[in-house]
Copies of this chain bind each other. A is one copy, B any other.
Amino acid sequence: MSTILDVANLAGVSVATVSRVLNNSDLVIDETRDKVLKAISELDYKPNMLGRNLRRSSSKVILTLVPNISNPYYSEIVKGIQDTLSINDYQLLLANSEAEWDVESKYIKLLEQKLVDGLIWMDATARSKNVRKISQDYPVVICSQYDATDLCYVSIDNEKSAYDAVSHLINQGYRRISMFNSNQKFRYARLRLKGYQNALLDHGLEYDENMVEYVEFDEEKISTSFEKLIIEKNSIDAIFTISDFNAQFIIREADKHDIRIGKDFGLVGFDNLSFSSIIKPSLTTVDQPRYRIGTEAATLLIERIKGHRESCKQIILDHKLIIRESSLKSQN
């Protein structure tokens, strides 16, 4: 593996000149440049970024932490991030955080250790204290809603969107509405729970904590929870679930039990994943401007890296309730 010195020697110039050629400085006359380029191609020389980055203390690489890359919700956000970064000459790398602090913290080390220049952190599960600490010390943008003004984040209003979804079910005539939530380590999960509670209370319904199930993104747990609520309690008539991803499993379960979703049973999902319009019944869901979340986050991050301290902003984008078949109610 050849180094810049090898190139310099072969071309008969100094390393400085080679470096200038590499960095397109206009201080090199064409003749010299040609000699250098010839040497570079002859040796098949590739600059070692470890050296360059050490000197520049920057890598032009951004890391995005995704709790679960197999959840299509995130991929559209990532696309937004990718497009924005690539325009700005940054490269994007992804890491699957599994939504676990142990994993998250390992990847955050890449930031602390200067291997990446910045971090877009989706649905951080770390404690607020940790999140705050890290994002004070390094360029970080969080994709989820926080209440602090000293953090950079992009999100929808999770509480309000859950409120809207549940209110819709109530307005349709459903009364015993369960929530299939995800782990409370997710801030969005806590916020949406609040929205669920408030919607119930505001419409004169009682909040019963036994009606909330915590199921993660796991088919089996959903099946168990569903049976428990349906069979043992035999009383719920609708579910608001944290993700369309879960909703597909709920539909399947309902089917097993001959429960007709969109007729005697209401279902509202979240995220407006592509299949939600395709499955039967089509799924009422809350749409987030996912691509835009990505572009905004990337833009914010780049500003922060450039050092605009004042760029620490909080961006809340609009959500939209998309009403489809699964939340209709037959008049009986």
Q: Would you give the 0/1 interface string for A240-278, flagging 1 where the beta carbon is closer than 8 Å to chain B?
A: 000000001101100000000000000000000011001
- Looking at the assembled complex, report how far the CB atom of A218 sits from the nearest CB atom of chain B, in whole angstroms: 11
**Given A50-B54, A57-B50, A78-B69: A91 and B107 interface contact (C-beta under 8 Å):** yes
Q: Is the CB of B96 within 8 A of A95?
A: no
- Looking at the assembled complex, report how far the CB atom of A239 sits from the nearest CB atom of chain B, in whole angstroms: 17
**Given A50-B54, A63-B93: A75 and B82 interface contact (C-beta under 8 Å):** no
Q: Is the CB of B49 within 8 A of A115?
A: yes
- Looking at the assembled complex, report how far the CB atom of A2 sits from the nearest CB atom of chain B, in whole angstroms: 12
Q: Would you give the 0/1 interface string for A176-195, flagging 1 where the beta carbon is closer than 8 Å to chain B?
A: 00000000000000000000
Complex interface: chain B residues within 8 A of A48 (CB): 54, 113-114
Number of A interface residues in the complex (CB < 8 A): 44
List CB contacts (< 8 Å) of A23-53 with chain B.
Answer: 46-51, 53
Q: Is A150 on the interface with B (CB-CB < 8 A)? A: no
**Given A69-B75, A78-B69: A49 and B114 interface contact (C-beta under 8 Å):** yes
Complex interface: chain B residues within 8 A of A51 (CB): 54
**Given A46-B112, A47-B113: A70 and B61 interface contact (C-beta under 8 Å):** no
Q: Is A94 on the interface with B (CB-CB < 8 A)? A: yes
Q: Would you give the 0/1 interface string for A102-120, flagging 1 where the beta carbon is closer than 8 Å to chain B?
A: 0000110110111100000
- Looking at the assembled complex, report how far the CB atom of A47 sits from the nearest CB atom of chain B, in whole angstroms: 6
Complex interface: chain B residues within 8 A of A57 (CB): 50
A92 to B93, CA, bound (A): 10
Q: Is A280 on the interface with B (CB-CB < 8 A)? A: yes
Complex interface: chain B residues within 8 A of A63 (CB): 93
Q: Is A72 on the interface with B (CB-CB < 8 A)? A: yes
Q: Is A59 on the interface with B (CB-CB < 8 A)? A: yes
Q: Is A16 on the interface with B (CB-CB < 8 A)? A: no
Q: Is A279 on the interface with B (CB-CB < 8 A)? A: yes
- Looking at the assembled complex, report how far the CB atom of A288 sits from the nearest CB atom of chain B, in whole angstroms: 15
Complex interface: chain B residues within 8 A of A47 (CB): 113
- Looking at the assembled complex, report how far the CB atom of A92 sits from the nearest CB atom of chain B, in whole angstroms: 7
A70 to B290, CA, bound (A): 13
Q: Is the CB of B96 within 8 A of A248?
A: no
A207 to B331, CA, bound (A): 54
Complex interface: chain B residues within 8 A of A94 (CB): 69, 93-96
Q: Which residue of B lies closest to A98 (CB)?
A: B82
A75 to B73, CA, bound (A): 14
Complex interface: chain B residues within 8 A of A95 (CB): 91-94
**Given A54-B51, A96-B78, A106-B91: A115 and B252 interface contact (C-beta under 8 Å):** no
Beyond A50-B53, A82-B96, A92-B96: 17 further Cβ-contacts under 8 Å?
A: A47-B113, A49-B113, A49-B114, A50-B54, A50-B115, A53-B115, A69-B78, A69-B94, A70-B75, A79-B96, A91-B95, A92-B95, A93-B93, A93-B94, A93-B95, A115-B115, A248-B275
